[in-house]
């Protein structure tokens, strides 16, 4: 729900506490992310977790894939706490999680949640034993678990069983349907087993990730209708750059609009040298542009056209968005509601003043052939006209002044 005139009926789900963060049970949709450092490298992992948390990730998942990685987890937690970064850590376990968690109780204690994939727990009798060990460890340390099914690693026995059942039915469905059904059955049956072992419903989060937009929507609609566990949404292997962003947004926006999803992760492949934090920014922007949450003031900007041949307004739009994102690290702790502020940077007078009036603060740069002045609107009123070489700095100063005068100081 937001201040806009719309409402979304969130699916009702059982709330799960993950450290200091609440997932589901009516809590706002949580943004999470995952590191891509080698967890054994404590320094690099701490640095990336802190970077993701600074960008706004409310939970950060780390790989725990070896004895060395499990050994490093408690140290990572301690270093983060020393830095004042208390973001809850989620451990990602595959194949050997049962051994790692029982061999390193300090690792189990330092994590706020375990993520296990029922397709990667083991096979046959071992699967059940190892799954039980994981769940018993979660119960012992009072930790929630995400049962995260992925179509790239579906339990083969489960898939074979569902294929057989489908073939024997009077109305057999196509292979895609069988795959979707196997994903959902794997999540639900694993959750039921976890409950039988003793894990409370308020310690269980489910996910069923696929890489196709339509498949993801169908899987989650069905999963959401068949249970009330908290749900983690995400497109797996979303891809790189605009493709990954568009595919994730297309799928998640539809589900979120239907009230489905308690936490989201955007699985973007970073460009070489690109920042891991981009996945956090994309997740926040999906939620914020949909009016579901507010994190950072957003800048509206026109696309530009033949009426403005200068790139100045593009540079100003980019620099002011970066500026408010950086400043939010401090503003968030000082001012109430500043994340709802809206800015507009426009390329000429055609739509410039109009759009500027709709924002809290808007500036309209001169288009080709227009007088080289930039009117600024604050809460719909023209307050000043900027000109000369210092427009960017003067505009930033107007933003700073607006923040300090408009938003109440937080009581610390
Ligand atoms: S505001 Fe002006 S420069 Fe920007 S797209 Fe519209 S007409 Fe073009």
Rounded distance, CA 396 to CA 381, Å? 18
Band (4; pLDDT cuts 50, 70, 90): low
| Nearest atom, ligand 1, residue 348 CA | 2
**Is 355 assigned a ligand-binding role in the annotation?**
yes
Q: Give per-residue pLDDT as tens, 372-382.
A: 899 999 999 99
Residues of the chain with CATH 3.30.413.10: 298-406
Residue 362 CB less than 6 A away from ligand 1: no
Instruction: For ligand 1, say whether the CB of 369 is within 6 Å of any of its atoms.
Output: no
Output the DSSP codes for 242-264: HHHHHHHHHHHHHHHHTT--SEE
What is the average per-residue pLDDT within 340-363?
93
Whether the predicted pLDDT of 131 surpasses 90: yes
Residue whose pair of structure tokens reads 């007088």 in the numeric block: 371
The model's pTM is 0.94
> Could you read off the pLDDT of 187-222 as tens digits, one per residue?
999 999 999 999 999 999 999 999 999 999 999 999
pLDDT at 34 over 50: yes
CA of 302 to the centre of ligand 1 (A): 6
Q: Among the atoms of ligand 1, which is closest to the Cα of residue 302?
A: 4
Does ligand 1 lie within 6 Å of residue 367's CB atom? yes
Is 26 exposed, middle or buried (CB count within 10 Å of its CB: 0-12, 13-18, 19+)? Answer: exposed
Q: Which atom of ligand 1 is nearest to the CA of 367?
A: 3
Mean pLDDT (whole number) for 148-153: 93
Segment 173-185 mean pLDDT: 94
The predicted pLDDT at position 221 comes to 98
From the CB of 317, is ligand 1 less than 6 Å away? no
The rounded distance, in Å, linking the Cα atoms of 45 and 36 is 8
Q: Which residue's CA lies nearest to atom 5 of ligand 1?
A: 304
Would you say the CB of residue 234 lies under 6 angstroms from ligand 1?
A: no
CATH T-level assignment (fold) for domain 298-406: Sulfite Reductase Hemoprotein; domain 1 (3.30.413)
> Is pLDDT above 50 for 1?
no
- CATH number among 3.20.20.20, 3.20.20.100, 1.20.1250.20, 1.10.3720.10, domain 16-290: 3.20.20.20
Q: How far is the CA of 356 from the centre of ligand 1 (A)?
A: 12
Ligand 1 centroid distance, CA of 352 (Å): 7
pLDDT digits (tens, 9 = 90+) for 46-103: 999 999 999 999 999 999 999 999 999 999 999 999 999 999 999 999 999 999 999 9
Q: Which of 300, 303, 311, 347 has most ligand 1 atoms within 8 Å of CB, for mutation?
A: 347
208 labelled binding-site residue = no
Instruction: Indicate if ligand 1 lies below 6 Å from the C-beta of 347.
Output: yes
Could you tell me where the DSSP H helices lie in 63-211? 67-83, 97-103, 105-110, 124-140, 156-168, 175-197
139 has pLDDT over 50: yes
Looking at residue 161, its pLDDT comes to 92
For the stretch 298-323, pLDDT in tens is 999 999 999 988 888 899 999 999 99
Does pLDDT of 253 surpass 60? yes
Distances (CA, A) of 24 to 39, 184, 194, 203, 238: 28, 19, 19, 11, 24
As annotated, the residues of the chain forming the CATH 3.20.20.20 domain(s) are 16-290
147: β partners: 116, 206
**Position 2 pLDDT exceeds 70:** no
């Amino acid at each position: 729900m937001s201040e806009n005139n719309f409402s979304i009926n969130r699916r009702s789900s059982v709330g799960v506490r993950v450290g200091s963060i609440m997932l589901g049970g009516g809590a706002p949709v949580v943004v999470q992310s995952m590191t891509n450092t080698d967890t054994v490298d404590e320094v690099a992992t701490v640095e990336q977790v802190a970077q993701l948390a600074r960008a706004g990730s409310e939970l950060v998942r780390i790989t725990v894939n070896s004895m060395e990685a499990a050994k490093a987890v408690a140290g990572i937690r301690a270093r983060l706490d020393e830095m004042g970064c208390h973001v809850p850590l989620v451990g990602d376990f595959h194949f050997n999680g049962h051994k790692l968690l029982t061999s390193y109780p300090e690792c189990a204690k330092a994590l706020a949640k375990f993520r296990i994939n029922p397709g990667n727990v083991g096979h046959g009798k071992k699967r059940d034993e190892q799954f039980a060990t994981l769940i018993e460890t979660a119960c012992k340390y009072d930790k929630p678990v995400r049962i995260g099914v992925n179509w790239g690693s579906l339990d083969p026995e489960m898939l074979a069983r569902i294929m057989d059942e489908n073939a024997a039915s009077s109305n057999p469905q196509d292979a895609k349907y069988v795959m979707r059904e196997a994903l959902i059955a794997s999540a639900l049956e694993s959750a039921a087993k976890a409950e039988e072992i003793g894990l409370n419903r308020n310690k269980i989060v489910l996910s069923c990730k696929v890489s196709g937009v339509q498949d993801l929507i169908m899987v989650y609609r069905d999963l959401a209708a068949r249970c009330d566990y908290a749900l983690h949404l995400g497109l797996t292997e979303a891809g790189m750059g605009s493709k990954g962003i568009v595919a994730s947004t297309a799928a998640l926006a539809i589900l979120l609009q239907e009230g489905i999803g308690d936490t989201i992760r955007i699985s973007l492949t970073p460009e070489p040298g690109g920042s891991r934090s981009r996945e956090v920014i994309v997740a926040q922007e999906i939620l914020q542009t949909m009016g579901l949450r507010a994190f950072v003031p957003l800048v509206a900007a026109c696309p530009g056209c033949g009426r403005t041949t200068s790139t100045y307004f593009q540079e100003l739009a980019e620099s002011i968005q970066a500026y408010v994102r950086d400043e939010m690290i401090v503003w968030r702790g000082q001012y109430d509601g500043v994340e709802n502020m809206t800015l507009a940077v426009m390329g000429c007078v055609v739509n410039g003043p109009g759009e500027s009036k709709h924002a809290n603060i808007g500036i309209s740069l001169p288009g080709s052939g227009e007088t080289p002045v930039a009117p600024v609107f604050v809460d719909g009123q023209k307050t000043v006209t900027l000109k000369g070489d210092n427009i960017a700095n003067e505009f930033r100063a107007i933003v700073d002044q607006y923040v300090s005068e408009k938003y109440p100081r937080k009581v610390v």
